Amino acid sequence: MTKTVTTKRPKPHQQKLAAINPVKTIKPATVTTPKQTTPVKTTTTVNSKAPVKPVVKPTTKTIVVTKPVIRYVTKVKYETKVKYETKTELPKVPGGAFLPSTNAALSLTNFSAAGGGIACEIGGGSVRCDAANHSWTAPTQPTSCTQSWGSGIVLTNTSPAQPAQFACGGSSPLNSSATAIKAGYDDTVGQITCEVRSFGVNCFAADGQGFILSETGYLIY
């Protein structure tokens, strides 16, 4: 059987339009249908005869870092040094004061001099003189002396000769019954002689030991 196809030619103006606006062929969209999957069942077979490995839990170690404690200790050492110095304050003696007196020697056992500020007592081979008011400081009181100390000096004529020393306790010759002697007189009782001068007294024994006592100083020789 023969089929006759009749083809129509396009008109000239249609050919021009076709050339200008070619017809785009639109392909039909392809739709893909997802395949249905069948879930697969998995079976785990446990072999009871197989050894079970113990579960080892990780151990945690705690490390404590201790910072060193630094302590500063300051030690201060104080040292006190005490130095004792005995200073003899010499009396202010004018020149020629110890020249022999031109007056007759006296023999009083208790007398005062320097306006009553110094008094002496002579007898029994010794002499003691005390100063009521003085500017000098006596030596440190010894531990063996527990009585009054520091105002009087005593001299004893002994053999062998012994130097004078500060009196410890005892009776002081400072009293109202003492006879006042003017400066320039000497008083001698036994082997003891005291020269009374304007500055004070100078008492000595026959062996040459003696002392000078005044309100401004003292000297033991």
Mean pLDDT along residues 20-27: 53
For residue 119, the tally of other CB atoms under 10 A from its CB is 26
Closest by alpha carbon to 116, among 134, 105, 132? 132
Tell me what the pLDDT averaged over the chain comes to: 78
pLDDT of 17 reads 47
Q: Which of 7-11, 77-81, 149-153, 186-190 has the lowest mean pLDDT?
A: 7-11
Residues 6 or more apart in contact with residue 183 via CB below 8 angstroms: 113, 114, 196, 197, 198
Task: Give, in degrees to the nearest 5, the angle at Cα 61 between 56 and 62.
Answer: 150
- Where are the chain's structural domains? 110-139+147-220
Q: What is the pLDDT of residues 75-93, one digit of tens each?
A: 777 777 766 555 555 666 5
